Amino acid sequence: MKKILFPMATAAIALSLFGCDKSGTVSGQVLDAFTGKPVEMPTVWMDSTIYGTQSQNYAYKDLLREGKFKFEGVKVGTYLIKARRSKYILGQQKFTTSNENPNLEITLYEYPDTVSPGMYMAGAEGGTKVTNSWAIFSTTCKESLAGLRTSFEQDMSVSAPGQKDKKKSSKKDIKVNKLPDPKVMDASFDVLYCNPGSVTAAIEAAAYPAVSAPVSAHADCQGFENDKKGIFPDISKKTELAVEYKAEGLFSVKGTLPQGKQLVVLTSNGKTLQSYYVEVK
């Protein structure tokens, strides 16, 4: 006898064969990466979709005052969600939902467009910049990654552009600039690094013991002039630091620094961006 498949049974078989994509709720909050406080009235949207807080049909505009957002009926899949507000730098995140986990809570970060490049200690007041006092002592290195001059002479008699040349400089005109002491820091390293010139390229960070060594042993470094010794990273004792994207051009850098003097080196695509001279007591 032939088996008869009724319409409901046929539909059940079709669902079991092909599955049924679910829909869920994507919600979350937009925070200032430096203060951790909500960014009021952000614009949040999901690329190439109908979901956006700027839509006239968006039902949760009251949540925006707390930096919160909510999109309902989002089919499971992979999306790119973005957040922006006037005078803030864009934040974005790629995410994926599934039939098993159709709902997702997301935290997006932005930061003021007045933030200048460099390293910051985050805090409630907006972050404190770690002034790179050692930048003018830096040299350009390849395999050695970084090198610092311990001092350099500056001729103070050199005329500014457009001024008449002064007489030949004397010893009184020569200023000796000495390498500043390393910045004393805790072993628990937790900073934000702003590199707006490279919003998409990955950033890598690591700490190395800072050692005094002959310049002749680091021929790949340029800028030492007549110096005999300099400060270099011991690349054989590398301490990896975790780097996490926060917003466009902004990265969180965390890790545990070994005790003693260290060079924290930040690189992108194999090129050294900056190095910081620190000491963990």
pLDDT computed for residue 8 by the predictor = 44
Instruction: Count the alpha carbons within 13 Å of 207 in the hemisphere toward its beta carbon.
Output: 24
Cβ pair 149, 139 in contact under 8 A = yes
pLDDT computed for residue 13 by the predictor = 41
Domains of the chain as residue ranges with CATH: 21-112 (2.60.40.1120), 118-153+171-280 (2.60.40)
Ordered mean pLDDT values, 10 residues apiece, the chain (281 residues): 46 44 95 96 97 95 97 97 97 97 97 94 82 94 95 69 55 80 95 79 92 95 91 97 95 96 94 95 87
Q: How far apart are CA 191 and CA 75, in angstroms?
A: 37
pLDDT computed for residue 123 by the predictor = 77
The tokens describing 146, both together, are 């970084």
Q: Give the pTM.
A: 0.83
pLDDT computed for residue 172 by the predictor = 64
